[in-house]
């Protein structure tokens, strides 16, 4: 008979989000909050996937568009578009996704390695795959979403952000 406490310790929860027709999982321990889409303040000379920053209760939070980060075409933001605030290495940032699905319990042994897709697909942002019923969920490695050089650029640009208008 298996030990229920031990099996729970080997289970993680993921917030599942949608980008196009794909479903991604974000470790629930990294998620701070989920907000409806609101315009952000653009940062000059930021990478294209960095939309800008938003003021989150006095803290300036960089926001990235996950579609652009993954090389997908940009879509108009709609009623289901949300910004998920996550914490990576003690720093909050927002990721814009098409929609939030649900919270998925994933046993450690249900996570499969990311297959080698050659040079055509960049899998550096993924830490594994799992199935949820008939669906495949790509599990994100949130530590790799914002590159160190991007974080440094944003830190340097934040003082200038107060002089720039918000964009939709």
Distance CA 38, CA 40 (A): 6
Domain hosting residue 155, numbered range: 4-167
Could you please report the per-residue DSSP string of 60-95? Answer: EEEEEEHHHHTTPPP----TT-EEEEEEETTEEEEE
Q: At which residue do the structure tokens 């917030």 appear?
A: 15
Host H or E run for residue 106: strand 99-107
Residue with more model confidence, 163 or 131: 131
Cα dihedral 34, 112, 138, 32, rounded to 10, equals 10
Comparing 8-17, 72-81, 94-103, which segment has the lowest mean pLDDT? 8-17
Comparing 16-30, 84-98, 152-166, which segment has the lowest mean pLDDT? 152-166
Domain holding 141: CATH number? 2.40.50.180
Model confidence at 123, pLDDT cuts 50, 70, 90, reads confident
Structural domain tally of the chain? 1
Residue with more model confidence, 157 or 123: 123
Distance CA 16, CA 112 (A): 17
Whether pLDDT at 17 is above 90: yes
Question: What does each C-alpha distance from 111 to 30, 54, 126, 147 come to in angstroms?
Answer: 18, 34, 11, 24
The pTM score is 0.81
């Amino acid at each position: 008979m298996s030990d229920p406490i031990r099996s729970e310790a080997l289970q993680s929860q993921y917030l599942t989000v949608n980008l196009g027709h794909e479903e991604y999982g974000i470790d629930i321990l990294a998620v701070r909050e989920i907000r409806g889409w609101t315009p952000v303040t653009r940062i000059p000379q930021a990478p294209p996937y960095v939309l800008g920053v938003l003021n989150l209760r006095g803290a300036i939070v960089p926001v990235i568009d996950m579609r652009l980060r993954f090389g997908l075409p940009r879509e108009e933001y709609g009623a289901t578009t949300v910004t998920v605030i996550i914490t990576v290495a003690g720093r909050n940032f927002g990721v814009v996704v098409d929609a939030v699905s649900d919270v998925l319990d994933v046993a450690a042994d249900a996570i499969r390695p990311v297959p080698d897709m050659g040079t055509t697909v960049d899998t550096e942002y993924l830490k594994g795959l799992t199935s949820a019923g008939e669906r495949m969920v790509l599990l994100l490695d949130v530590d790799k979403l914002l590159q160190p050089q991007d974080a440094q650029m944003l830190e340097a640009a934040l003082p200038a952000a107060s002089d720039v208008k918000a964009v939709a």
